[in-house]
């Protein structure tokens, strides 16, 4: 009986030539260039191979008795249920109000309520209490969400200062990102947000050119010009993300706007562009298919490389994770403007998915565990890509019943890894 077997998470990326094959393991994250003999040894599980020890060390071979799916699910569950991780994260929405009116927004027609000072205090107390119980904690991340969080900027500053001061006193690394449409921001406010340590990063959303901004977001030309200027100014001060909301109608215009912005920014080390398909949450339909998104991201990446942009979003290349996102971790929470708690920021404002509040605490109801404990599709349990995709977003999969586009994801993952290898070796070329 053989002692070892090939890992179910091995993925053949391609061949350099007739004698060399690139192989990737999605569980260990290892990448190897194997000559024909070593690759044959791997496929046949040749225990006399000169490279047996290395193949085992990198995870391409595993002990025969190991159940790899159960191993990764134990890794997954230990991540989800770890009450004292070294990093925690919370999302806070001071308001659901927004001066714009995007047709696809999942918070469309929500009341423009701004969090009260009393609720803000209770949220801070709840978060600080959670931090104080975690003796392993080294990092805290806050996401300021909305609506448009700057509509409730008073609450944002109050909570941000208190949480930051606690972290500073207890030597916890504090980071915070605000998701904003950019039209309420100016240089003075940006300076205050940075200097008061309310944020360490900022994310803007771009839906195309000025005509798209007017039609999609119901904004004005002046507001659009302010948004573009704020992207340029912010990138000179702090980590700046630009989310590109892509549809079939706007993708060419988005590319042109990215090119324009790149000619204006001074500090290219701070800027990160990433592209996501628009999901119309009123109809639950994506307005561009994942296969088309792969092509868009490839074009975007070529432009970024041409402009010597060094940082790319995680969708560009595969990475092993313990879950689809941090929202699956039970110690992380999202707070709405009334102090209500949710499992994910994409559920804010939907009373059905409330899992607690700052007055009563956590309900431990079915809605709290539905996403973290959602079943993995049977076909996904056997898939070699599971450690890097986790069957896609649980909110889309479980709540909105959207089927994950596996084939497009696989193509994107392979191309992302090839692009990464190209960056490591200028002479790299697949046959």
Provide the strand spans (E) within 145-265.
Answer: 173-179, 201-206, 239-246
At 360-375, the pLDDT tens digits run 999 999 999 888 888 8
Closest CA to 204 of 294, 270, 263, 142: 270
Q: Could you give the angle at the alpha carbon of 312 between the alpha carbons of 306 and 314, nearest 5°?
A: 150
Q: What 8-state DSSP symbol labels residue 200?
A: S
Tell whether 204 and 69 lie within a shared domain: no
**Average pLDDT rounded to a whole number, residues 389-410:** 85
Single residue among 293, 316, 339 that ends a domain in this structure:
316
- Does 415 map to a domain? yes
- CA-to-CA dists, residue 278 to 65, 89, 275, angstroms: 44, 25, 9
Give the Cα separation of 75 and 89 in Å (integer): 19
Distances in Å between the Cα of 97 and the Cα atoms of 92, 136, 197, 306, 386 are 14, 36, 24, 39, 38
Tell me, what's the pLDDT at 302? 86
Per the prediction, the chain carries an average pLDDT of 90
The pLDDT score that the predictor gives to residue 423 is 63
Classify residue 13: in a domain, yes or no: yes
Would you place residue 203 in the very low, low, confident or very high pLDDT band (cuts 50, 70, 90)?
A: very high
Residue 282 is predicted with a pLDDT of: 58
Q: Is residue 337 part of a domain?
A: no
In a shared domain, residues 103 and 249: yes
Q: Give the count of domains, the chain.
A: 2
Share of the chain above pLDDT 90, in %: 68
* Per-residue b or e along 77-86, where b marks 16 or more CB atoms closer than 10 Å to that residue's CB: eebbeeeebe
198 and 159 in a common domain: yes
Return the number of other C-beta atoms located less than 10 Å from residue 168's C-beta: 12
Whether residue 55 is found in the same domain as residue 108: no
> Out of 161-165, 214-218, 343-347, 397-401, which region has the weakest mean confidence (pLDDT)?
397-401
Among the candidates 316, 343, 372, a domain finishes at 316
Report residue 104's pLDDT band, with 50, 70 and 90 as the boundaries: confident
**Averaged pLDDT for residues 174-202:** 97
Q: Is residue 59 assigned to a domain?
A: yes
Q: Are residues 52 and 176 in the same domain?
A: no
The answer as to whether 400 is a domain residue is: no
Choose one of 301, 316, 331: the last residue of a domain.
Answer: 316
- pLDDT reading at 428 higher than 70: no
Same domain, 103 and 227: yes
Sequence-distant (≥ 6) Cβ neighbours of residue 185 within 8 angstroms: 150, 226, 230, 234
Of all residues in the chain, what percent carry a pLDDT higher than 70? 94
Question: How many Å apart are CA 177 and CA 160, to the nearest integer?
Answer: 11
pLDDT of res. 426: 41
Distance of CA 287 to the CA centre of its chain: 20
Q: Model confidence over 58-76: pLDDT tens digits?
A: 999 999 999 999 999 999 9
Cα-Cα-Cα-Cα torsion 272, 278, 281, 282, nearest 10 degrees, comes to: 140
Q: Is the pTM of this model over 0.75?
A: yes
- 373 belongs to a structural domain: no
pLDDT tens for each residue of 228-248:
999 999 999 999 999 999 998
C-alpha 119/C-alpha 153 separation (Å) is 14
234 and 125 in a common domain: yes
Average pLDDT over residues 25-31: 95
Tell me how crowded residue 50 is: count the other CB atoms within 10 A of its CB: 10
SS3 162: helix
Residue 79 predicted with pLDDT over 60: yes
Whether residue 309 sits in one domain with residue 160: yes
* 284 pLDDT tier (thresholds 50, 70, 90): low
What pLDDT, on the 0 to 100 scale, is given for residue 425?
A: 47
Read off the pLDDT band of 399 (50, 70, 90): confident
Work out the average pLDDT over 198-203.
98
Residue 424 pLDDT > 60: no
389 lies in some domain: no
CB of 314 within 8 A of CB of 326?
no
Range of the domain at 51: 4-73+408-424
> Could you give the strand order of the β-sheet that contains 31-35, starting from the edge strand earlier in sequence?
10-17, 20-25, 31-35
Confidence label for 204 from pLDDT (cuts 50, 70 and 90): very high
pLDDT reported for residue 153: 95
Angle between helical axes of 210-217 and 221-234 (0-180°, round to 10): 110
Confidence of residue 431 (pLDDT cuts 50, 70, 90): very low
pLDDT at 35: 94
Do 127 and 211 share a domain, yes or no? yes
pLDDT at site 313: 59
Q: Which stretches within 170-237 are classed as H helix?
A: 187-195, 210-217, 221-234
**Strands 285-286 and 279-280, how do they pair?**
antiparallel
Q: Is residue 181 part of a domain?
A: yes
CA nearest neighbour of 344 among 332, 358, 334: 334
Residues 325-346: pLDDT tens digits? Answer: 888 899 999 999 999 999 999 8
Whether 69 and 112 share a structural domain: no
Mean per-residue pLDDT for 260-289?
82
Q: What is the pLDDT of residue 314?
A: 45
Same domain flag for 244 and 134 = yes
Q: Are 22 and 147 members of one domain? A: no
Provide mean pLDDT across the span 246-260. 93
Res 301 pLDDT > 90: no
Nearest CA to 200 out of 157, 143, 150 is that of 143
| CATH number for the domain harbouring residue 229 | 3.20.20.70
pLDDT score, position 86: 96
């Amino acid at each position: 009986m053989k002692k070892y077997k090939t890992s179910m998470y091995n993925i053949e990326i391609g061949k350099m030539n007739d004698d060399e094959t690139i192989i990737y393991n999605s569980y260990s994250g290892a990448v190897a260039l194997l000559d024909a003999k070593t690759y044959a040894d791997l496929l046949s599980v040749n225990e006399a191979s000169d490279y047996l020890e290395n193949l085992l060390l990198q995870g391409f071979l595993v002990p025969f008795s190991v159940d790899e799916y159960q191993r990764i699910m134990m890794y997954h569950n230990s991540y989800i249920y770890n009450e004292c991780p070294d990093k925690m994260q919370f999302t806070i929405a001071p308001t659901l109000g927004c001066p714009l009116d995007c047709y696809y927004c999942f918070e469309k027609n929500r009341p423009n309520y701004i969090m009260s000072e009393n609720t803000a205090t209770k949220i801070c107390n709840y978060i600080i209490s959670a931090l104080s119980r975690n003796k392993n904690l080294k990092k805290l991340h806050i996401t300021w969400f909305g609506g448009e969080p700057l509509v409730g900027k008073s609450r944002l500053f109050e909570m941000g200062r208190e949480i930051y001061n606690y972290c500073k006193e207890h030597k916890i690394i504090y980071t915070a990102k605000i998701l904003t449409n950019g039209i309420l921001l100016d240089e003075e406010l940006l300076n205050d947000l940075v200097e008061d340590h309310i944020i360490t990063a900022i994310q803007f959303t771009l839906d195309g050119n000025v005509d798209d901004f007017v039609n999609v977001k119901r904004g004005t030309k002046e507001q659009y010009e302010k948004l573009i200027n704020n992207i340029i100014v912010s990138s000179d001060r702090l980590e700046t993300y630009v989310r590109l909301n892509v549809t079939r109608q706007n993708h060419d215009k988005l590319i042109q706007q990215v090119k324009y912005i790149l000619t204006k920014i001074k500090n290219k080390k701070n800027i990160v562009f990433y592209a996501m398909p628009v999901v119309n949450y009123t109809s639950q339909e994506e307005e561009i298919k994942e296969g088309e998104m792969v092509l868009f991201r490839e074009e975007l990446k070529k432009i970024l490389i041409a402009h010597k942009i060094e940082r790319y979003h995680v969708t560009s290349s595969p990475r092993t994770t313990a879950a689809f996102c941090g929202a699956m971790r039970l110690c992380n929470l999202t707070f709405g403007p009334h102090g209500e708690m949710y499992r994910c920021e994409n559920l804010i404002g939907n009373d059905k998915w409330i899992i607690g509040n700052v007055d009563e605490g956590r309900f431990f109801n079915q809605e709290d565990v539905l996403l973290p404990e959602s079943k993995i599709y049977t076909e996904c349990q056997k898939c070699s890509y599971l450690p890097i995709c986790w069957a896609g977003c649980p909110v889309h999969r479980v709540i909105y019943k959207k089927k994950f586009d596996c084939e497009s994801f696989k193509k994107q993952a392979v191309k992302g890894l090839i692009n990464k290898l190209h960056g490591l070796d200028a002479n790299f070329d697949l046959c």
